[in-house]
Amino acid sequence: MGNAPRVGPPSTNFYALDARLQNLDTNIVYIGVPGSGPDNRRAFWNLHGPNAGSQGIEMAPKIAGLMHTPFTQLISEGPYQIGGTHERVDWNKREISFKVNVGVGQPDTVFRYRNVESRWWASWSAKEDGYLGVYTRTHGWRWLRVRLAEEPKNIMDLDPAAMGNNFQDWDMSVVAVDPYWRKRHVEATWRNDGDGDGGIPQTPWDQLEELIEDIAEGLIPGISNLIPGMHIGEGNIVVPNRGTETAWPKFLISSPGRTWIEDGPGGQMVPLPLLTPDDGVVLVDTDPTKRTLTATKDPVDPLFFRIARNSQLLDMFLHDLTDTGLPVWRRFNGRFTTPWPAKTVCRIKVRHSNAGGQITALMPQRYGMAYA
């Protein structure tokens, strides 16, 4: 029986760990455009940190544009005014400049050097985005979508592979039209358990809505199957925004049913259009600069609904139903106006009219800097 190695008590001193396990250095990686790596996947490059240069490319020590989000102060000034007046702040695209060394470790053959150079440029595009990632022990991973802003303008050696050098450096200029760094979004789901009306008091409008449903059923038997239960469930989706910037959450909404979503902290409940089973899952993007509603599939517009929309009497009773023949984004005439604050746990009030209906919130995590 051999002698077993002596094992002491576990150490609680973090700094007693191997430097590779501590990983206190700033790590910078780049993930290339689609199809740039093996098996038609994205290429991966370690540019800075403990594994820098393991793929033959290394970032030089200096970099510009990594940290502060670029902005422009718009200030108006008058002829008799002392100083100026702040009007607004415009947040601009982020431009990052750095230098890379191609051929780190001096590839032993010109073929290897040429392959590294070829794979590096295949990982970049002026038309598609790759991902620049920064990791620190204190702040974790943050990611930025980037592409080439312009071609490198280096004065290069006529033959970088001459006399076995197999080395070349390039000045990289990349741009991110969205200047904010991001982490993986945080998800949370609320489900309507179908127990009554969720605490919402019955109103005369609710009674009128039930009367209209009865009239519609009398006119067209079976049409009430398109109208979800009239008892609305209400709840809160609790989801954190850990980022340093305000966020516009997205929502995945099950159909059928009608849904309401709170517009910012303490804001109004924004009603969404009535969804039919044919709509499938619907994505709601509260960012006013984006398309608000996207359905899994848009329904075909039946002849009956086209006729009903042109009939004032029928449209008065069946307005929501006649609109279901339109794409879901055309049925919505509301808007979201208020983002959710940074560094807070957000309680988003939601409602769903269908028992078993489900709403999932996707909260973006945006940061103004790479690691602060």
Instruction: For 302-334, give the DSSP string.
Output: -HHHHHHHH-HHHHHHHHHHHHTTS-GGGG---
Instruction: Quote the number of domains for the chain.
Output: 2
Separation CA 54–CA 65 (nearest Å): 25
Of 158, 179, 200, the one marking the end of a domain is 179
Quick check: 59 pLDDT over 90? yes
- For residue 46, give the H/E element and its range: strand 44-48
Query: What integer pLDDT is reported at residue 198 of this predicted model?
Result: 43
Q: Are residues 172 and 305 in the same domain?
A: no
Helices 204-219 and 312-323 pack at an angle, to 10 degrees, of 100
Of 179, 209, 242, the one marking the end of a domain is 179
Query: What integer pLDDT is reported at residue 354 of this predicted model?
Result: 86
Mean pLDDT calculated for residue range 334-353: 94
| pLDDT tens by residue, 118-129 | 999 999 999 999
User: 223-235 burial, b if ≥16 CB within 10 A, otherwise e?
Assistant: eeebbbbebbbbb
Percent of all residues in the chain with a pLDDT value above 90, rounded to a whole number: 55
Q: Are residues 112 and 213 in the same domain?
A: no
Q: Are residues 316 and 258 in the same domain?
A: yes
Half-sphere exposure of 71 (CA within 13 A, CB side): 13
Query: What integer pLDDT is reported at residue 315 of this predicted model?
Result: 45
Q: Are residues 168 and 209 in the same domain?
A: no
Query: What integer pLDDT is reported at residue 327 of this predicted model?
Result: 74
Separation CA 235–CA 253 (nearest Å): 14
Q: Are residues 140 and 30 in the same domain?
A: yes
Q: Are 346 and 265 in contact (CB under 8 A)?
A: yes
Separation CA 278–CA 326 (nearest Å): 11
For residue 202 the two structure tokens come to 């019955």
Query: What integer pLDDT is reported at residue 196 of this predicted model?
Result: 40
For residue 265 the two structure tokens come to 């902290």
Q: Are residues 32 and 171 in the same domain?
A: yes
Q: Are residues 100 and 149 in the same domain?
A: yes
More confident: 278 or 136: 136
Query: What integer pLDDT is reported at residue 226 of this predicted model?
Result: 47
**What is the domain extent for residue 30?**
14-77+84-179
Query: What integer pLDDT is reported at residue 188 of this predicted model?
Result: 96
Q: Are residues 136 and 190 in the same domain?
A: no
Question: Does a structural domain hold residue 4?
Answer: no
Question: Does a structural domain hold residue 199?
Answer: yes
Q: Are residues 212 and 349 in the same domain?
A: yes
End-to-end CA distance of the chain, in Å?
Answer: 54
Question: Does a structural domain hold residue 3?
Answer: no
More confident: 135 or 276: 135
Residue 228 DSSP SS3: coil
Residue 12 DSSP SS3: coil
Question: Does a structural domain hold residue 271?
Answer: yes
Cross-strand pairs, 366: 182
Omega within 30 of 0 (cis) for the link into 256: yes
Separation CA 220–CA 317 (nearest Å): 12
Q: Are residues 222 and 120 in the same domain?
A: no
For residue 297 the two structure tokens come to 């599939």
Of 179, 211, 231, the one marking the end of a domain is 179
Half-sphere exposure of 126 (CA within 13 A, CB side): 4
Q: Which amino acid appears at position 215 of this protein?
A: I
| pLDDT tens by residue, 160-175 | 888 878 888 999 999 9
For residue 66 the two structure tokens come to 């990594």
Secondary structure (DSSP) of 163-216: GG---EEEEEEEEESS--EEEEEEEEEEE----TTTTPPP-HHHHHHHHHHHHH
Q: Are residues 232 and 188 in the same domain?
A: yes
Question: Does a structural domain hold residue 209?
Answer: yes
Query: What integer pLDDT is reported at residue 305 of this predicted model?
Result: 47
What letter does residue 39 receive in the DSSP assignment? Answer: G
Mean pLDDT calculated for residue range 87-91: 94
For residue 173 the two structure tokens come to 């200029």
For residue 360 the two structure tokens come to 């999932």
Separation CA 357–CA 251 (nearest Å): 13
Q: Are residues 174 and 211 in the same domain?
A: no
Question: Does a structural domain hold residue 158?
Answer: yes
CATH of residue 31's domain is: 2.40.30.200
- Closest residue by Cα to residue 276 from 332, 229, 214, 227: 227
Question: Does a structural domain hold residue 372?
Answer: no
| pLDDT tens by residue, 311-331 | 444 444 444 544 545 677 678
Query: What integer pLDDT is reported at residue 225 of this predicted model?
Result: 45
Question: Does a structural domain hold residue 1?
Answer: no
